[in-house]
């Protein structure tokens, strides 16, 4: 159930609607926009007639939401969500670039790459400390030690940090060092993890699963939001198809589709999306042209010796080139980088 209050509705009127929804068995989520307050009632819609709410004072309109996700739906926040972390706004006019190595490897490595991405204009450094590797014999990440190194490198370069959380037990350590917690493709439907992330108050970067539909992606966002954490950033990172010329098939069309179905910001990851550094620039350009709110890009100062995903990691000079190109594309779609 979605109740849109009139512009300037009084707090007492809003409260009466909340009380009514609660008495009918709904859990109420409130979104206070610039113009309107929207109340999302999650619960037994059954045979509730929207008119019951529309006749209440201060109510503009009421709808029964038929989509399986409610809080992630565009109706809940028609104006879109902006996730603000310090002076960075994700989902606003600026296209936010998050860049860095696949994995944090050594102190020197992360220091050097932090300098490269900061000089290029990235706002956030990425890097895995807990790595979901397809093989148990591959490098698994440096854990807390890696997070500490990345935090220090980020602070020296005025960058925010995003890093992956693989299970519930890692939430405290990730929260201590990272500004954004990433849920990887393999964990998009780890519902216990998603529920726990709904209980914290840190932004979550939720990547699309390798064979997940857009609806499943939005339902996973709903798991986090239904716990009260509304700061979810989505990420298209390529899906598995019959095509094997690239590591995954980058679903650029997911960007405008998500934009119309949901108010949540969406990023694109052309590195995992293609698996090849020579294809990262064109797909990055396409993603920004299609309306992505930002990019997640792998960059390494020495990709030939990277411990993971070297083939898809940009060299420093390619990253600079990418940022120069994005500035042109962003201008064409009335945004900035």
Selected range binding Mn ion among 1-9, 50-58, 76-84, 97-105, rule: CB under 5 A: 97-105
Choose the contact partner of 132 out of Mn ion, ligand PEP, none; CB within 5 to 8 A by kind.
ligand PEP
Q: How far apart are CA 5 and CA 7, in angstroms?
A: 7
Residue among 162, 166, 143, 144 nearest 154 (CA): 162
Q: Which of residues 174-203 bind Mn ion (CB under 5 A)?
A: none
Q: How far apart are CA 151 and CA 133, in angstroms?
A: 23
Choose the contact partner of 36 out of Mn ion, ligand PEP, none; CB within 5 to 8 A by kind.
none
Choose the contact partner of 337 out of ligand PEP, Mn ion, none; CB within 5 to 8 A by kind.
none
Q: Whose Cβ is closer to ligand PEP: residue 166's or residue 219's?
A: 166
Selected range binding Mn ion among 62-70, 202-210, 299-307, 308-316, rule: CB under 5 A: 308-316
**Phi, psi of 84, deg, nearest 5:** -105, 125
Least distance in Å: CB of 129 to ligand PEP? 10
CA angle, residues 73, 81, 35, in degrees to nearest 5: 90
Least distance in Å: CB of 152 to ligand PEP? 20
Least distance in Å: CB of 270 to ligand PEP? 11
Least distance in Å: CB of 185 to ligand PEP? 4
Q: Which residue in the shown chain puts its C-beta closest to ligand PEP? A: 184
Least distance in Å: CB of 90 to ligand PEP? 16
Q: Residues in the site for ligand PEP, rule: CB under 6 A?
A: 102, 128, 132, 164, 184-186, 207, 237, 272
Least distance in Å: CB of 141 to Mn ion? 11
| Using rule CB under 5 A, residue 309 touches Mn ion | yes
Q: Whose Cβ is closer to ligand PEP: residue 58's or residue 275's?
A: 275
- Selected from 1, 39, 99, 102, the binder of Mn ion by CB under 5 A is 102
Least distance in Å: CB of 93 to Mn ion? 28
Q: Which residue in the shown chain puts its C-beta closest to Mn ion? A: 102
Choose the contact partner of 207 out of Mn ion, ligand PEP, none; CB within 5 to 8 A by kind.
ligand PEP
Residue 48's DSSP bridge partners are none
Residues that bind Mn ion (CB under 5 A): 102, 309
């Amino acid at each position: 159930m979605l109740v849109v209050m009139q512009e300037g509705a009084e707090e007492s009127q809003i409260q009466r609607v909340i009380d009514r929804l609660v008495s009918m068995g709904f859990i109420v989520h409130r979104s206070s926009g610039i113009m309107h307050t929207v109340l999302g009632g999650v619960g037994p819609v059954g045979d509730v007639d929207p008119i019951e709410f529309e006749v209440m004072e201060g109510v503009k309109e009421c709808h029964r939401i038929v989509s399986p996700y409610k809080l992630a739906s565009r109706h809940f926040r028609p104006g879109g969500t902006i996730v603000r972390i310090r002076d960075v706004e994700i989902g606003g006019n600026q296209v936010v670039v998050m860049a860095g190595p696949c994995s944090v490897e050594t102190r020197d490595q992360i220091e050097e790459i932090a300098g490269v991405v900061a000089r290029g204009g990235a706002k956030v450094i990425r890097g895995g400390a807990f790595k979901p590797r397809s093989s148990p014999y591959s490098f698994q990440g440096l854990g807390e030690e890696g997070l500490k190194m990345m935090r220090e490198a980020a602070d020296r370069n005025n960058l925010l940090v995003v890093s992956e959380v693989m299970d519930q037990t890692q939430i405290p350590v990730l929260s201590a060092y990272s500004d954004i917690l990433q849920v990887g493709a393999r964990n998009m439907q780890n519902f216990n993890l998603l529920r726990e992330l709904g209980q914290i108050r840190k932004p979550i970067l939720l990547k699309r699963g390798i064979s997940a539909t857009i609806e499943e992606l939005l339902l996973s966002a709903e798991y986090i939001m239904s716990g009260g954490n509304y700061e979810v950033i989505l990420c298209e990172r390529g899906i598995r198809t019959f095509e094997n010329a690239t590591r995954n098939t980058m679903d650029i069309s997911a960007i405008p589709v998500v934009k119309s179905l949901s108010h949540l910001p969406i990023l694109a990851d052309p590195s995992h999306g293609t698996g090849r550094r020579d294809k990262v620039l064109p797909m990055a350009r396409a993603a920004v042209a299609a309306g992505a709110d930002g990019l997640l890009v792998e960059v390494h100062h020495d990709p030939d010796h990277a411990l993971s995903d070297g083939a898809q990691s940009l060299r420093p000079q390619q990253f600079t080139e990418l940022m120069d190109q994005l500035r042109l594309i962003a201008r064409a779609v009335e945004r900035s980088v």
